[in-house]
């Protein structure tokens, strides 16, 4: 196990939303690109009306210089009708063992971005909005 993996395993509880315990996470791989692997947790989908959120995870690969981001866990919000998304919370784990850093934005502080067709964003959108019924 690499140092980053060991740190990630022990710090995971601090990186996920408090209402979503680490033991409940079921990461589903979305893509395995050369530079990163992206995951989503279908069990974390929440919301009402047109809006849904999902917890996602990006694990960066390769030899990263010390202090670089090794892993990022986000709460992403999706507008199921207008096909757009925004980041509401992000927790970053560096590859040097520092404590994870978390940033959170209120709805009015977070900018919406269009969900591009045939993209990782569209995969996340489909997971978040799978149970959406208008």
pLDDT in tens, 20-71: 444 568 899 999 999 999 999 999 999 989 999 999 999 999 888 888 889 9
Greater pLDDT, 85 or 10: 85
pLDDT at 107: 83
Cα–Cα distance for residue pair 101/107, rounded to 1 Å:
20
> Are 128 and 53 spatial neighbours (Cβ–Cβ below 8 Å)?
yes
- What is the spatial distance between Cα 47 and Cα 7, in angstroms, rounded to a whole number? 31
61-100: pLDDT as tens digits: 988 888 888 999 999 999 999 999 999 999 999 888 788 8
Q: Each residue of 35-47: b (16+ CB within 10 Å) or e? A: ebbbbbbeebbbb
- Does residue 4 carry a pLDDT above 60? no
pLDDT value of position 15: 46
Measure the CA–CA gap between 134 and 126, rounded to whole angstroms: 15
Enter the CATH code of domain 3-128. 2.40.128
Report the pLDDT value the prediction gives residue 108, as an integer from 0 to 100: 85
């Amino acid at each position: 196990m690499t140092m980053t993996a060991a740190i990630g395993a022990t710090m995971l509880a601090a990186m996920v939303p408090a209402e979503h315990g680490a033991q409940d996470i079921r990461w589903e791989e979305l893509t395995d690109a050369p530079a990163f692997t992206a995951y989503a947790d279908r069990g974390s989908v929440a919301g009402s009306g047109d809006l849904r959120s999902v917890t996602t995870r990006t694990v960066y690969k390769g030899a990263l210089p010390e202090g670089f981001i090794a892993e990022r866990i986000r709460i992403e919000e999706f507008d199921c009708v207008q096909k757009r998304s925004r980041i509401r919370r992000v927790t970053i784990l560096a590859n040097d063992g520092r404590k994870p850093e978390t940033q959170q934005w209120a709805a009015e502080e977070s900018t919406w971005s269009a969900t591009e067709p045939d993209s990782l964003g569209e995969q996340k959108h489909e997971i978040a909005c799978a149970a959406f019924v208008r």
